[in-house]
């Protein structure tokens, strides 16, 4: 739907321009502009309340912006889609608070995430194909849960839930992954493993990763955008951002 012209030379997976969102007069996003290139991994940092989660809400159709452009693959105007439609376009999202289906098993959670078969009728008639089974085995191995496939998701540790949720993103086979604070509640070792996983994923997907853990950000070795009060404060390599005076003032501290 809606092929919108765009005056930017470079192709982008995600293009945001002048996006504003206000809640009762409070501007959670204030003319935010950002662009993510195909195959890029981007880290987003910023103080609490900077608008990182709100930005993801806008991209995924949960929140309607007051104004601004949000384009996916330079052609889909995401502000016109709802959550399910955005997901089916190929955008997967991991929530800040781990969100897995607690009363289903690891296997069932992943099975449900697998691409396709979203209609009621298809869901009723669903049978797992050999191809899907392979895909599931692959994801289970990737998130290191092959031995846990019959565990109820509610019985997993916090870190494991995070991984399961990432696995569910992979099941969707999205083009763009939006990941909100993946390392929260993980041990140092798990955190580094997660960073490794994301670097592997970046070979085939575009990623936007929000995180507060600077070691984790450093391990991602990617471009960093700093958000503050709903707009971009700085953008560049982690080193350049860390050296930025404004960033030091509002976020990193002296």
Partner 1 sequence: MPVQATHMGPITRLLTQDKNGRRLLLVIAVLAIVVPFCNLLFPAESVLHISTYTMTLLGKYLCYALLAIAVDLIWGYCGILSLGHGAFFALGGYAMGMYLMRQVGDRGVYGNPELPDFMVFLNWQELPWYWLGFDSFAFSMLMVLLVPGTLAFVFGALAFRSRVSGVYLSIITQAMTYALMLAFFRNDMGFGGNNGLTDFKDILGFDLQSDGTRAGLFIASALALMLGYVISRVITASKLGRVLVAIRDSESRARFLGYRVEHYKLFVFVVSAMLAGVAGALYVPQVGIINPSEFAPIFSIEIIIWVAVGGRGSLYGAVIGAVLVNYAKTWFTGAFAELWLFLLGGLFVLTTLYLPRGVIGLWPPLQQRWHRYRQQRDLVHQEDCL
Contact residues for Mg ion, defined by CB under 5 A: 52-53, 96
Q: Which among 245, 241, 107 has a CA at the least distance from the CA of 164?
A: 107
Q: Which residues of 52-81 are buried (b: 16+ CB within 10 A; e: fewer)?
A: bbbbbbbbbbebebeebbbbbbbebebbeb
Task: Give the nearer residue to ligand ATP in terms of CB position, either 170 or 179.
Answer: 179
**Whole-number minimum distance, CB 97 to partner 1, in Å?**
10
Contacts with partner 1, residue ranges (CB under 8 A) = 60, 62, 82-84, 87-88, 92-93, 95, 99-104, 107-108, 111-113, 117-120, 123-128, 133, 168, 172
CA–CA dist 223, 235 (Å, integer)? 7
Task: Give the nearer residue to Mg ion in terms of CB position, either 56 or 114.
Answer: 56
**Whole-number minimum distance, CB 104 to partner 1, in Å?**
6
Task: Give the nearer residue to ligand ATP in terms of CB position, either 57 or 190.
Answer: 57
Give the interface segment with ligand ATP, choosing from 6-14, 46-54, 198-206, 236-244 (CB under 6 A): 46-54
Token pair in block for residue 1? 């739907």
* For helices 188-201 and 158-171, angle between their N-to-C axes, nearest 10 degrees: 10
Is 64 an interacting residue with respect to ligand ATP (CB under 6 A)? no
Q: Tell me how crowded residue 183 is: count the other CB atoms within 10 A of its CB.
A: 23
Residue 46 contacts which entry, Mg ion, partner 1, ligand ATP, none (Cβ below 5-8 A, type-dependent): ligand ATP
Coil vs helix vs strand at 144: coil
Name which position in 53, 172, 206, 225 contacts ligand ATP (CB under 6 A): 53
Strand arrangement, sheet containing 26-36:
26-36, 14-23, 67-72, 76-77
Applying CB under 6 A, the residues found at the interface with ligand ATP are 23, 28, 46, 48-54, 96
């Amino acid at each position: 739907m809606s092929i919108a012209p765009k005056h930017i030379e470079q192709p982008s997976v995600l293009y945001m321009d002048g996006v504003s969102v206000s809640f009762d007069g409070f501007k959670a996003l204030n003319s935010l502009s950002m662009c993510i290139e195909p195959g890029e991994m981007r880290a987003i940092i910023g103080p609490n309340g900077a608008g990182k989660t709100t930005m993801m809400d806008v991209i995924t159709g949960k929140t309607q912006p007051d104004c601004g452009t949000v384009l996916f693959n330079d052609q889909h105007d995401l502000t016109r889609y709802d959550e399910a439609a955005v997901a089916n376009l190929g955008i997967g999202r991991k929530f800040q608070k781990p969100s897995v289906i607690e009363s289903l098993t690891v296997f069932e959670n992943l099975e449900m995430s697998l691409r396709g078969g979203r209609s009621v009728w298809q869901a009723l008639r669903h049978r797992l194909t050999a191809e899907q089974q392979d895909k599931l085995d692959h994801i289970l191995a990737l998130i290191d849960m092959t031995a846990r496939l019959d565990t109820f998701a509610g019985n997993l540790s916090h870190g494991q839930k995070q991984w399961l949720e990432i696995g569910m993103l992979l099941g969707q086979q999205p083009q763009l992954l939006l990941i909100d604070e993946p390392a929260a509640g993980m041990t140092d070792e798990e955190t580094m493993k997660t960073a490794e996983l994301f670097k592997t994923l970046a070979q085939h997907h575009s990623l936007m990763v929000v995180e507060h853990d600077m070691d984790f950000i450093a391990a991602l070795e990617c471009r960093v955008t700093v958000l503050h009060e709903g707009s971009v404060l700085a953008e560049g390599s982690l080193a350049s951002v860390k050296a930025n005076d404004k960033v030091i003032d509002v976020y990193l501290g002296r």
